[in-house]
Structure 1
Amino acid sequence: MSRRNTFAAMFVIAISWSSLTAVAQSDVTPSGDPVAPRAVRLIAPLDASEANSRRFFGRIAARETVSLSFEVGGRLVDFPILEGSAVPKGSTLARLDQEPFVRAQERAVLALEQAERDAERAGTLAASNVTSEVRAQDARTARDLADVALRDAREAVVDAVLTAPFDGIVAARIAETFSNVEPGQPILRLHDMSQVRVEIEVPERVLLNVGDPEAISFSGTLPNKVSVDLKLVEFEAQTGRVGQSFRVALAIPDAAASGLIPGSTMTVVAQLPQTDSGAILPQSAILAEAGGGFEVMVFRPGEGTTGTIERRAVRVFAPRGKAFEVEGLKPGERIVAAGGHLLRDGETVRIYDGLTVEEP
């Protein structure tokens, strides 16, 4: 062997020995002290059934809120109801000055009596050929018109009194007492409390993933901390302009709706259909294998806050935004949240519990 070949062989051996020495000394510092275990942050996978639950901010609402008005115009002289007061169906809410309507009714009565006399006289004259049949027909038409005018006058007297069309709560008084109002002018707003509801905004992606809103189970916590089941009543078949969410209305049981006022708040929990199994992990905790599979770094507890790392293959499916559903984990196991590619199987690590500052 030539001197050149001998030197090359010795160089390769030296490099190999240096590499082996570096590997053997990778767990010690340059001074020979053991290297502190690498700190890792651990997470507990979320059960898929828990991930199917959503919490929403809800607002109490009436079945509907309507603006009430008079069908006739006049002077508002009686407006006794107060905002926030409960009113039964048929109770008087407001009243216009009755005198003009009573006088109009009396004029209509007199006009009808005169029209009836004219029609009778014209009919007699037409029968005697003193006047034409056309004039008799005109007289009968005038009588019929007078009868219609009387019915209108009587209805106007009734319409001058505004009554509650349903059991409700006065939301707001719009007009003022002794003011002149026009037909159709809103006088007050009334909440229909025959069915108390809670309205929530459900994100578009939630309803799209479920498909049928009827498959979602809803429950809510009332202001007095009582939990009740809620029933889906209706939802808007279009998203709002902001937030891409659907407004969903849920009915509160009558037994629990007493004392609830529109505008108050409650928490609503939506339980989505359970179609998945496994655990939910963030994307950062999942490692991709060279062969196309997936792995996670499982923490095996040791003494104190230390433990060892186990590299385990898992099945990944059902993406959930920035998280994934995985299979292959046991209940109670904790996973390295991020940086798993820097660890090796069997490596000793310690649990990261936040930054600490040593006192001098």
Structure 2
Amino acid sequence: MTAVRLGLLLLGCLATNTLAAQLAATDGRIRVQLMSRDAVTLSSEVAAKIARLPVQEGASFSKGQALVEFDCSGFRAQLNKAQASLDAARQLVKVNARLAELNSIGALELTQAEGKAKESAAEVSYMHSVVSKCVISAPFAGRVAKRIAAQHQYVNPGMPILELVDSGPLELRMLLPSKWLAWLKPGVRFNVQVDELDRNLPASINRLGARIDPVSQSVSATGTMEAQDAALLPGMSGWAAFNPPK
């Protein structure tokens, strides 16, 4: 995109925001978008094959539910090996400590045995950390927005697998005229006409933005639907109707 086209695009966006603010100031209606409070993409932290991916797109899940399970038989074998090495190293420390008491070995041998035990303990701790990443649990209750990977697929660390959205009350994102700050406060109620449902639903202001856009003379605001409705989905949009004081 050339600098000229980029400049025209920015001017167009600013003009649109300014026009929206001017229209809102006259009839109290604002365009809003429904969004989830929490949305996250789950990614793999290990290089492994997906053994189970039990949730489908659109499916609901509860907090803590296992959403992805990897085939970590190789990692668990390494953990068992590391644990066996640690047990042997600790036994050697006991033997060398007793021999040192009898002056049968020097301090160096005992120190070396203790160092080996610490090294083995660190390896066990690391493998425990790796194995703990073989199951990805849901960070919150919600729904699966998109399945990016598939069961039996081999993934590398950082590869996205699932996109999640929370199932709590949806938030409403909007830009409001900054002059409304004279009366607009958290808790102010308004109605939302949702385009996709052709329904009018109650909502209220939850929080206001931390700064004002000096060009469009607008401030960002977040509202909350006052009642949960299974028909409402993230990405829907509509009109928020306010009643500014005269």
TM range (shorter): 0.7 to 0.9
Q: 1:220 deviation in Å?
A: 1.8
Structure 1 residue aligned with 2:79: 105
Seen in structure 2, the aligned counterparts of structure 1 residues 177 and 129 have a Cα distance that, compared at 3 Å, is same
Structure 2 residue aligned with 1:210: 181
CA distances 1:203-228 after superposition (whole Å, capped 9, x unpaired): xxx11453574275433234352431
CA distance in 1, matches of 2:147, 2:74: 25
CA distances 1:97-117 after superposition (whole Å, capped 9, x unpaired): 121122122112211111112
Give me the CA root mean square deviation.
2.8
Seen in structure 2, the aligned counterparts of structure 1 residues 165 and 118 have a Cα distance that, compared at 3 Å, is same
Instruction: Give the fraction of aligned pairs with identical amino acids, expressed as a percent.
Output: 22
Question: Does 1 or 2 have the higher relative contact order (CA < 8 Å, sep 6+)?
Answer: 2
CA distance in 1, matches of 2:117, 2:183: 62
1:75 pairs with 2:46: no
CA distance in 2, matches of 1:239, 1:170: 35
CA distance in 1, matches of 2:157, 2:103: 48
Structure 1 residue aligned with 2:237: 265
CA distance in 2, matches of 1:148, 1:265: 53
CA distance in 1, matches of 2:168, 2:80: 40
1:94 pairs with 2:68: yes
Q: 1:82 deviation in Å?
A: 1.6
1:249 pairs with 2:234: no
- TM-score (normalised: structure 2): 0.76
Structure 1 residue aligned with 2:14: none
Tell whether the 8 Å contact from 2:208 to 2:219 is kept in structure 1 after alignment: no
Could you say what secondary structure the match of 2:29 adopts? strand
- TM-score (normalised: structure 1): 0.54
CA distance in 2, matches of 1:137, 1:227: 72
Q: Which amino acid aligns with 1:199?
A: R
Q: Which amino acid aligns with 2:241?
A: V
CA distance in 1, matches of 2:81, 2:201: 62
Tell whether the 8 Å contact from 1:122 to 1:136 is kept in structure 2 after alignment: yes
Count of residues in Structure 1 that have an aligned counterpart in Structure 2: 220
Tell whether the 8 Å contact from 2:203 to 2:223 is kept in structure 1 after alignment: no
Structure 2 residue aligned with 1:163: 137
Seen in structure 2, the aligned counterparts of structure 1 residues 189 and 235 have a Cα distance that, compared at 3 Å, is farther
CA distance in 1, matches of 2:111, 2:171: 59
Larger helix fraction of residues: 2
Could you say what secondary structure the match of 1:90 adopts? coil
> Structure 1: which 5+ residue stretches go unaligned?
1-49, 277-360
CA distance in 1, matches of 2:208, 2:122: 43
